[in-house]
């Protein structure tokens, strides 16, 4: 092979005091340049520590710690991936790493029966770090191989305190190799195994990043070195004479570090490629072998900060704490996938007409959404049955509420189609989750209407509707229906308002705080249930039905709602900067009446 000496030309001087590496023997696999040390510590920030235990004639064991960076690993976690060749092993902590894609502790390698002690050492070290005083859950990551061939493993000589020294003594620079640390008692291909390390650097044109590897070798097969059949040539290999002596059993732990800014998904892919490298050594990955790879990235740009508001936290990739809303989307929000999705696709027919249901065309329909701290809303929402969801907006966790102005045209009770009304209406509402059903809904502060209908609904059902005088100026392009002017004012003792918005004519796209347009529409425009305090201070409920609404994007020019200022929810300046403004020239709603009662005896209506 090019670059490798023939096997009969490899000469190892027996009197040499220098520990030989493969490159000293002319074996230089691959085409890429090594790092300065040809070690995992060539990846900036990585630390390695060993503790070796030699006692009498029977104890030959130890532990090796790998720290991805010198800072607080729990607070500044690194993305990670795991690959498994043959899973006959005890890789503690692996399920959480595979689930969350991150490492929050040092990685410790040791012998099979010392895994609990290593975990205890990691936990003790993590809890002792400054800044971790409130930590109550730690995921220690411990890999192992079985060194019982050379070590009295049943003596369980390693203690957590001793293993903790490997973590405390971890350092950058040269990495001691061979029969040291977790490699003290290991075997490989029938010869002495141990700890090994190496690194490679990509050319500048390919990114110039570094990848380093550290292994705890304790496995078997048919040894090959840079393609040379060393095991076969020396007469020591698995299945020699067609006999399975179990000499391919054992394990290998491979730790891969890189400064490339990889996601946990790509680190998992990188880890799987390390198994291809393992196969090139002649490893059999037999039934009794535990072959594991842990890969992580030290790049600052993909590091996960437990304090997502830290000025150091990056937004190139979501931290795990931000994905809970997505979990909600596929579990508790099952209706988002089925019921709501059907509404969006207009596959669900409208519900059958009730005797007092209302139908109405809604013209000049606008949705003006505001982001605000959840704490401002909590005193107005019955917390025992409703949750106020939060969305990441402007780097902060914020609640959402809205004002929804429109013009009712041909508003009528279904059983009184000859009696129709037209008037202005504005709903004031908060986006909530009904804890009982798990579905998105809205909480109504109340509604202003420019019609005497308000007195019927308020008198009959206690709905918080309030009379108002509306003045409006709507001007539209007759072809595109884009608004040249969208203005209205409300004169009401309950809520005065002035609204002037600009119609961009651009269809609504994804807004901040949502993972998809569908999710945004489902939460902001398609909650079917609304709740409110009725006149007897109980929680009432009514529902609506409508087809999917097509919006264009609007901009605020001048907006003021006295209600939101009076309740301390928004300042005048904040009202000029809504989270989003949606405009629809015309749609149609069906309101399912009469309203029901959700539950009795909530606290008194704070309004």
Instruction: Please identify every residue annotated as catalytic.
Output: 251, 289, 291
Identify whether the C-beta of residue 429 lies closer than 8 Å to the C-beta of residue 386: no
The CA distance from 525 to 548, in Å, is: 8
**Beta strand 552-561 with 497-507: parallel, antiparallel or unpaired?**
antiparallel
Q: Is the distance from CB of 278 to CB of 257 less than 8 angstroms?
A: no
Q: What are phi and psi of 478, to 5 degrees?
A: -65, -20
Rounded to a whole number of angstroms, the distance between the first and last alpha carbons of the chain is 84
For residue 12, what are its two tokens? 């190892």
Residue 419 has phi, psi (to 5 degrees) of -105, 100
Burial 394-413 (b: 16+ CB within 10 A, else e): eeebbbbbbbbbbbbbebeb
Question: Three-class SS string for 148-203?
Answer: CCCCCHHHCCCCHHHHHHHHHCCECCCCCCECCHHHCCCEECCEECEEEEEEEECC
Is the CB of residue 12 less than 8 Å from the CB of residue 234? no
Distance between CA 499 and CA 519 in Å, rounded?
27
Rounded Cα distance between 157 and 590, Å, is: 75
User: How many other C-beta atoms are found inside a 10 Å radius of the C-beta of residue 370?
Assistant: 22
- Tell me the DSSP string of 565-589: HHTTS--HHHHTS-SEEEEEEEEEE
């Amino acid at each position: 092979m090019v670059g490798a000496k023939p096997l009969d030309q490899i000469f190892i001087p027996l009197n040499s005091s220098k520990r030989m590496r493969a490159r000293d023997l002319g074996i230089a696999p691959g085409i890429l340049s090594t790092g300065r040390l040809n070690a995992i510590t060539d990846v900036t920030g990585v630390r390695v520590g060993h503790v070796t235990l030699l006692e009498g004639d029977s104890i030959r064991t130890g532990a090796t710690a790998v720290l991805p960076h010198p800072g607080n690993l729990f607070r500044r976690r690194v993305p990670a991936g795991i690959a498994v060749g043959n899973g006959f092993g005890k890789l503690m902590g692996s399920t959480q790493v595979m689930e969350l894609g991150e490492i929050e502790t040092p990685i410790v390698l040791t012998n099979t029966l010392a895994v609990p002690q290593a975990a205890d050492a990691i936990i003790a070290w993590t809890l002792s770090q400054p800044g971790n005083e409130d930590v109550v859950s730690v995921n220690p990551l411990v890999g192992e191989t079985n060194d019982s061939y050379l070590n009295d493993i049943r003596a369980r000589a390693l203690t957590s305190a001793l293993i903790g020294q490997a973590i405390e003594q971890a350092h950058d620079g040269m990495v001691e190799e061979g029969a040291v640390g977790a490699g003290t008692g290991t075997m490989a291909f029938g010869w002495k195994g141990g700890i090994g390390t190496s690194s490679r650097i990509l050319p500048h044109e390919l990114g110039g990043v570094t990848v380093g590897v550290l292994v705890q070798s304790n496995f078997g097969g048919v040894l090959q070195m840079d393609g040379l059949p060393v095991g076969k040539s020396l007469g020591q290999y698995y299945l020699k004479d067609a006999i399975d002596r179990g000499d391919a059993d054992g394990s290998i732990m491979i730790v891969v570090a890189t400064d490339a800014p990889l996601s946990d998904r790509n680190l998992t892919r990188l880890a799987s490629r390390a198994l291809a490298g393992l196969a090139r050594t002649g490893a059999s990955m037999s039934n009794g072998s535990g072959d594991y790879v842990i890969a992580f990235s030290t790049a600052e740009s993909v590091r996960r900060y437990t304090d997502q508001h830290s000025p150091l936290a990056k937004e190139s990739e979501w931290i795990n704490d931000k994905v809970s809303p997505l979990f909600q989307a596929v579990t508790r929000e099952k209706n988002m996938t089925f019921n709501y999705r059907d509404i969006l696709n207009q596959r669900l027919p409208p519900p059958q007409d009730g005797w007092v249901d209302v139908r109405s065309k809604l013209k000049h329909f606008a949705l003006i959404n505001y982001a605000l701290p959840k704490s401002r809303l909590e005193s107005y929402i019955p917390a025992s049955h409703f949750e106020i969801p939060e969305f990441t907006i402007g780097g902060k966790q914020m609640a959402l509420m809205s004002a929804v102005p429109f013009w009712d045209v041909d508003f009528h009770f279904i059983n009184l189609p000859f009696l129709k009304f037209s008037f202005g209406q504005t709903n004031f509402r908060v986006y909530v989750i009904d804890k009982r059903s798990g579905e998105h809904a809205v909480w109504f502060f109340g509604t202003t209407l420019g019609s005497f209908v308000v007195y019927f609904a308020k008198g009959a059902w206690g709905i918080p509707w309030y009379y108002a005088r509306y003045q409006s100026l709507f001007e539209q392009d007759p072809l595109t229906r884009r608004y040249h002017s969208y203005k209205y004012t409300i004169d009401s003792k309950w809520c005065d308002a002035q609204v002037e918005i600009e119609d961009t004519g651009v269809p609504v796209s994804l807004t901040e705080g949502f993972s998809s347009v569908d999710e945004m529409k489902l939460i902001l425009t398609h909650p079917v249930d609304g709740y409110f305090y009725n006149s007897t201070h109980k929680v009432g409920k009514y529902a609506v039905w409508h087809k999917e609404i097509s919006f264009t994007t609007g901009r605020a020019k001048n907006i003021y709602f006295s209600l939101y200022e009076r309740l301390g929810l928004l300042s005048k300046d904040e009202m000029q900067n809504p989270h989003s403004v949606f405009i629809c020239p015309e749609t149609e709603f069906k309101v399912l009446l009469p309203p029901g009662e959700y539950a009795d005896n909530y606290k008194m209506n704070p309004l």
